[in-house]
A and B are shown apart, each in its own frame.
Chain A
Amino acid sequence: MESLPLTEPVLFVLLSLAEQPRHGYSILKDVERMSDGRVRLSTGTLYGALRRLLDGAWIERVEEDESPRDRRPYRLTSRGRRNLQLEVERMRHLTKLAAVRIARKEA
């Protein structure tokens, strides 16, 4: 698939939304928590990623009447979830391959 591999910020945003729908600030904090403070997204980076993910139909806005305009939640679409699974599978394969190669070298 041509859109893989994903960048680290995009991967973290997708992982954050995989659990539950979140709005911008919640994604920001969740990414920071998941990466133990290593990845801190700026709002410019976050919304650039969200826009591209929306355009690619990987995520969508959750339309809620009670949510204010400046706190609109986003959620993964089935396409986004499928692509995330593909990326995780790719990484798993890579990790397995790396472990085998390293073990062979050590032996």
Chain B
Amino acid sequence: MLSFYRWLLYLYPLGYRREYTDEMISVFRDAQADARAESLSARISFRARETWGLLVGAMHEHICVICGSHRSISLTRFDMRSEFRFPRSTVLLMSIIFGGVILAMEKANTIQVKYAAGAGSIWPSLPWFLGLTLLSACVIVLLIWGILFALGRSGTHRLANIQPCPNRTE
């Protein structure tokens, strides 16, 4: 888990890593030692919490770098909801979407059987469809990450700090 944790830390911006990596690893090591004495479910929960915390944290830090300032990001409920609430709603939302997709596929198959009289199904098979969906989701996430990274490297965020030129009338 520690090597995975170290790997996840690479998702953070360089400046953040220089400043906090040693501390975070040290704290994680101590917390992991505590978690070892707990039940299996507590250990799984610990790993999920840490992974989720790093993923959200890294994304947040990149957004801060692109936006140019951490001061614009407040400490209020808007941007720092407890990480315990989000996964539950995410899982629920994903389940609803997944159920909707399955129902739509069933409906499509029924319509096709009814009107195309024995032609092959619309989707080759469910595993293929799920695999393709997962692959598409990964590609989209990678693209978004790449765009954010490229924007950060290009220095676009510094545009927010540019002062307007004085009016040279004289």
Enumerate chain A interface residues (CB-CB to B < 8 A): 2-10, 23-25, 28, 39-49, 51-53, 55-56, 58, 69-72
- Give complex CA distance A21, B63 in Å: 30
**Chain A residues in 8 Å Cβ range of B82:** 7-9, 39
Residues of A within 8 A of B70 (CB): 51-52, 55-56
Q: Which one of B26, B50, B54 has the highest number of Cβ atoms from chain A below 10 Å of its Cβ?
A: B26
Known contacts A25-B30, A28-B31, A71-B23; 19 additional CB pairs below 8 A are A3-B74, A7-B76, A7-B81, A7-B82, A23-B23, A25-B26, A25-B27, A42-B49, A43-B24, A44-B24, A44-B58, A45-B57, A48-B61, A52-B75, A53-B75, A55-B71, A56-B75, A69-B22, A70-B23
B-side interface mostly: helix
If A10-B80, A39-B82, A43-B31 touch, whether A70 touches B25 (CB-CB below 8 Å) is yes
How many pairs of A and B residues are in contact by the CB < 8 Å rule?
99
Contact partners of B76 in chain A: CB under 8 A: 3-7
Asked whether B22 lies within 8 Å of A47 as measured between CB atoms, the reply is no
Mask, B18-58, CB within 8 Å of A = 1, is 01101111111011000000000000000001101111111
Instruction: Say yes or no: B80 contacts A47, CB within 8 Å.
Output: no
Q: Complex Cα distance A10/B77, Å?
A: 9
- Whether B73 is near chain A, meaning CB under 8 Å from some CB there, is yes
Q: How far is the CA of A69 from the CA of B74 in the complex (A)?
A: 27
The answer to whether A49 and B49 touch (CB under 8 A), given A7-B75, A25-B27, is: no
Q: How many residues of B contact A (CB 8 A)?
A: 35
Chain B nearest CB, measured from A7 CB (Å) = 4
Q: How far is the CA of A52 from the CA of B63 in the complex (A)?
A: 13
B24 adjacent to A9 (CB under 8 Å): no
The listed residue (A3, A23, A40, A43) touching B28 by CB distance below 8 A is: A43
Contacts of A48 in B (CB 8 A): 57, 60-61, 80
Residues of B within 8 A of A5 (CB): 76-77
Known contacts A70-B25, A71-B23: A25-B31 contact under CB 8 Å = yes
Kindly list chain B residues whose C-beta atoms are within 8 Å of the C-beta of A58.
Answer: 75
Q: How far is the CA of A31 from the CA of B24 in the complex (A)?
A: 17
Q: Which of B23, B49, B53, B55 has the most CB of A within 10 A?
A: B23
Residues on A with beta carbons closer than 8 Å to the beta carbon of B84 = 40
Closest A residue to B81 by CB, please name it.
A7
Residue from A4, A9, A40, A44 whose CB has the most chain B CB atoms within 10 Å: A44
Most buried by B among A5, A42, A46, A51: A42
| C-alpha spacing A28/B27, complex, angstroms | 9
